[in-house]
Amino acid sequence: MKIDINYIARVEGESSVKLEIEEGKLKELRLNIWEPPRFFEGFLVGRKFDEVPDIVARICGICPVSHMTTAIRAMENAFGLTPSPEVKRIRKILALSQILSSHLAHLYILALPDFFRLNSVVEMLPHFEKDIKRFLRLKEAANSITALFGGRALHPVSMVVGGFTKVPSKADTEKAAWELESLHGDALETLKMASELKCPALENHAEFVALKGKGEYAINGGMISSTKGLNIKEHEYASYFIEDEVPYSNAKRTILKDRGSLMAGALSRINLGFDNLLPDAKKASEDLGFTGGGNPFLNNLAQAVEIVHALQECAILLRGLSLKSVKNYFADFKVREGAGSALTEAPRGMLYHYYEIDGRGVITKANIVTPTAHNFLNLEESLKKLVTENIDKPEEELILMCEMLVRAYDPCFSCSVH
Amino acid sequence: MNKLRLGFFKYSCCMGCSYFFAYVQKHVPEVLASFDFVFIKLLSRKGIPEGPFDIALVEGTITEAWQVDELKMIREHSKKLFAIGSCAVIGGIPAIKATSPELEVEKRVYKNLSSIHSIKPHAVDAYVKVDGYIRGCPPVERDLYEALTSVLTGRKPDFPQYSVCIECKLKGNICVLIADDMPCMGPVTNAGCGALCPSMNRACYSCFGPMKQANAPGLAKKFKAMGISRDDIIRKFTEFGADTIEFRKAVEMVYED
């Protein structure tokens, strides 16, 4: 029997799953990422360093802040520029606001309908009005934080190499913090809702990889750590991770050298950084008996825990800003020939950017590895396992389970091909 | 009232327009009440790509041949077709690829090109007739609702047809081009964003693309007089407008000069 899920709906970007079952056994399974390539790494060559953040933002419509921040940090590393603590704080606020809006969209409109055997959020609306309204409240608050600092929620404009071109007023950030604090109950409700979703059992012995910080839940930088003992610095990335082309996919596949597949994303961050969560998120999660795990379906729950954490951390950071004059948020620097790389935790997992720059500030080489490229092999392996363990299920059921698993990884196929 | 049948199609892009559309801010109930979502991958399983549609929204640059075939099919089955976002409207960021020889760019990304089937990137209206342009990267709500409500009420949509400069003046901004010597693309860029970048102390980079009949060579001359290098001027006009006639004129002028 051949099954061809010719497009996976409710994920970002284009992919299909093809599988063949013969005499009750899975013969072959392929995750075909047919998202058309746009060749960012190709056409970035010849562009000027200061255009790069605006250009790479367009790799992804959901995580532009991550691509911009990673590119900016890579170039600052190349120029030997260390941003001020306040600039770092604002970058983290932007990243957290984007994690919030990405996770919220994933949980409520991409993942949720499956659990009620519905095709879309449109079909959910009549029965789940309360949940959808909660989603809209949270999502609007998250988007307004991104827009407050970035000018707009999608493809923000204030983020540049060196810092920010404009910062909001203290009164505006206080108001934003207050708004977030008032939504704490909504975040906890979201976590409760996610904890009640019944997920299929599925073991996954992959190496979970995420950035890890000292005493903070790492987002923009940190040590590259794994559940199997990896503990390396950002600039050592290229000696440990290998990117390879796959004949049936436009996305490249990244593995750990001599180790194999890995999983990145919210579940990895929880598995590695649970102790660094803020006390409220930690306690709420522990009360549900969740402190991490191997089943990739738990990624949904991990995202909900991060929603509780991110909402609170974002408010704390907003309250801590001094916001003096805009001059304090932009550091002068000298363009010089060199190379720089950086990693951040995008909503869907670890994101890597690398640039080589000539003396005039023109890019001569670019490399970008996205969370979904990191997850590609592990997702395929998990799909094989899921199908093997549920091979007797009716075809419709098996198709839905495969789709649910793909969605649980929260892939971004647009990012993965770029 | 029968709901209008809506289709949303994605080609080569960041899918930000779908995402923007899926999250329709405060107008969710109104939009849901007025349209039947026949096909939108980001929101729903089991959509019907064949339509028919009262309104089709198309995002993304056309970069592969199958997209041309599908686009023509959609056009045939749609009463109104709108291009949404800079990729679909003007070619956008993916069109930067066309500023270098094609294979050169592709070879920088893939070792094996045998399974890569890209064609020269173009906007949607290079292949089919378009009934309206929802500009921007990302677009703004005002233009999206203008498109939707024009179909609902059966009138012609009314989009801004002037430059970012007008919005800047209305906001009372100090001109960053004249006062701060920033290479601002505002004079030749279509309005809609509310003069976002100049309001954030930076030069417009034309993410809404050229305004119709923009005097791009004139602005290029101004940049040159400001001491901006030839390569930097070309980059300004090829970031979002590499596939547009208006901006190509500026690039040609700079080359000939």
Q: What is the pLDDT of residues A239-266, one digit of tens each?
A: 999 999 999 999 999 999 999 999 999 9
Q: What share of chain A is helix, strand, coil (3-state, %, to 5)?
A: 50, 20, 30
**In chain A, % of residues over pLDDT 90:** 95
Option in B64, B106, B232 nearest A36 (CB): B64
pLDDT band at B256 (very low <50, low <70, confident <90, very high): confident
Option in A37, A125, A166 nearest B118 (CB): A37
From chain A, the residues in CB contact with B199 under 8 A are: 151, 166
Residue B3: pLDDT over 80: yes
Half-sphere exposure at residue A306, Cβ-oriented, CA atoms within 13 angstroms: 35
Q: What would the 3-class secondary structure string for A82-139 be?
A: CCCHHHHHHHHHHHHHHHHHHHHHHHHHHHHHHHCCCCEHHHHCCCCHHHHHHHHHHH
Instruction: In whole angstroms, give the CA distance from residue B237 to residue B232.
Output: 9
From chain B, the residues in CB contact with A143 under 8 A are: 23
Instruction: In whole angstroms, give the CA distance from residue B176 to residue B165.
Output: 10
Q: Do B16 and A105 touch (CB under 8 A)?
A: no
Q: Provide the residue type at A279 as one letter.
A: P
Q: Which residues contact A293 (CB under 8 A, 6 or more apart)?
A: A267, A271
Instruction: In whole angstroms, give the CA distance from residue B63 to residue A248.
Output: 18
Average pLDDT for A361-390: 97
The residue among A157, A325, A363, A404 with the most chain B CBs within 10 A of its CB, best to mutate, is A157
User: Which of B132, B92, B86, B85 lies closest to B243, judged by CA?
Assistant: B92
Q: Do A41 and B17 touch (CB under 8 A)?
A: no
Q: Closest Cα of chain B to A66: distance in Å?
A: 14
pLDDT band at A385 (very low <50, low <70, confident <90, very high): very high
Q: Does B112 touch chain A (CB under 8 A)?
A: yes
User: Which of A121, A102, A6 lies closest to A61, judged by CA?
Assistant: A102
35-94 of B, contacting A, C-beta below 8 A: 37, 41-47, 61, 63-64, 67, 92-94
Q: Provide the residue type at A263 as one letter.
A: M
Q: What are phi and psi of A363, to 5 degrees?
A: -70, 130
**Global confidence as pTM:** 0.97
DSSP output for A139-160: HHHHHHHHHHHHSSSSS-SSEE
Option in B16, B93, B105 nearest A55 (CB): B93
pLDDT in the model for residue A407:
97
Q: Cα–chain-centroid distance for residue A330?
A: 27
Measured CA angle at A95 (ends A16, A341), to 5 deg: 80
User: Which of A141, A143, A144, A148 lies closest to A167, judged by CA?
Assistant: A148
Which residues, listed in sequence order, are joined to residue A244 by a DSSP beta bridge?
Answer: A253
Q: Closest Cα of chain A to B35: distance in Å?
A: 11
For A103-160, what is each residue's pLDDT tens digit?
999 999 999 999 999 999 889 988 999 999 999 999 999 999 999 999 999 999 999 9
pLDDT in the model for residue A325:
77
Give the chain B residue nearest A59 (alpha carbons).
Answer: B14
Q: How many CB pairs under 8 A join A and B?
A: 169
Give the chain B residue nearest A111 (alpha carbons).
Answer: B43
Instruction: In whole angstroms, give the CA distance from residue A277 to residue A280.
Output: 8
Residue length of chain B: 257
pLDDT in the model for residue B28:
63
From chain A, the residues in CB contact with B107 under 8 A are: 42
Q: Closest Cα of chain A to B106: distance in Å?
A: 6
Instruction: In whole angstroms, give the CA distance from residue A373 to residue A275.
Output: 27
CA dihedral of A143, B163, B237, B252, whole degrees rounded to 10: 160
Q: Provide the residue type at A11 as one letter.
A: V
B52: preceding bond cis by omega (within 30 degrees): yes
Instruction: In whole angstroms, give the CA distance from residue B40 to residue B30.
Output: 18
Q: Do A122 and B17 touch (CB under 8 A)?
A: no
Residue B23: pLDDT over 80: no
Instruction: In whole angstroms, give the CA distance from residue A69 to residue A50.
Output: 13
Give the chain A residue nearest B65 (alpha carbons).
Answer: A36
Tokens at residue A296, please? 């990739």
Q: Closest Cα of chain B to A218: distance in Å?
A: 26
CA dihedral of B162, B165, B170, B176, whole degrees rounded to 10: 170
Average pLDDT for A232-244: 96
Q: Does B219 touch chain A (CB under 8 A)?
A: no
Q: Provide the residue type at A377 as one letter.
A: L
Residue A316: pLDDT over 90: yes
DSSP output for B41-65: TTTBSS--TT--EEEEEEESBEEEH
Which residues, listed in sequence order, are joined to residue A342 by a DSSP beta bridge?
Answer: A353
User: Which of A142, A88, A141, A135 lies closest to A112, judged by CA?
Assistant: A135
Q: B250 and B216 in contact (C-beta within 8 Å)?
A: yes
Average pLDDT for B135-163: 94
pLDDT band at B29 (very low <50, low <70, confident <90, very high): low
Option in A151, A403, A414 nearest B14 (CB): A414
Q: A370 and A415 in contact (C-beta within 8 Å)?
A: yes
pLDDT in the model for residue B80:
98
Handedness of CA B68, B74, B75, B77 (dihedral sign): positive
Average pLDDT for A271-299: 97
Option in B106, B116, B196 nearest A151 (CB): B196
Option in B12, B108, B239 nearest A45 (CB): B108
Q: What are phi and psi of B125, to 5 degrees?
A: -75, 0
pLDDT in the model for residue B123:
98
Q: Do A51 and B197 touch (CB under 8 A)?
A: no
Q: What are phi and psi of A186, to 5 degrees?
A: -65, -40
Helix (H, G, I), strand (E, B) or coil at A359: coil
Helix (H, G, I), strand (E, B) or coil at B93: helix
pLDDT band at B31 (very low <50, low <70, confident <90, very high): confident
Q: Closest Cα of chain B to A10: distance in Å?
A: 4
Q: A308 and A286 in contact (C-beta within 8 Å)?
A: no
From chain A, the residues in CB contact with B108 under 8 A are: 39, 41-42, 45
Q: Closest Cα of chain A to B195: distance in Å?
A: 10
For B59-79, what is each residue's pLDDT tens digit?
999 999 999 999 999 999 999
Q: Closest Cα of chain A to B155: distance in Å?
A: 27
Residue B25: pLDDT over 60: no
Strands A363-369 and B53-59: unpaired
Residue B236: pLDDT over 60: yes
Q: A302 and A266 in contact (C-beta within 8 Å)?
A: yes
For A49-94, what is each residue's pLDDT tens digit?
999 999 999 999 999 999 999 999 999 999 999 999 999 999 999 9
Q: Provide the residue type at B87 as one letter.
A: C
Q: Closest Cα of chain B to A271: distance in Å?
A: 29
Q: Residue A252: count other Cβ atoms within 10 Å of its Cβ.
A: 20
Q: A397 and A403 in contact (C-beta within 8 Å)?
A: no
The mean pLDDT of chain A is: 96
Strands B4-10 and B53-59: parallel
Half-sphere exposure at residue B245, Cβ-oriented, CA atoms within 13 angstroms: 4
Q: Do B46 and A119 touch (CB under 8 A)?
A: yes
Tokens at residue A59, please? 């790799």
Instruction: In whole angstroms, give the CA distance from residue A160 to residue A153.
Output: 16
Q: Which residues contact A136 (CB under 8 A, 6 or more apart)?
A: B28
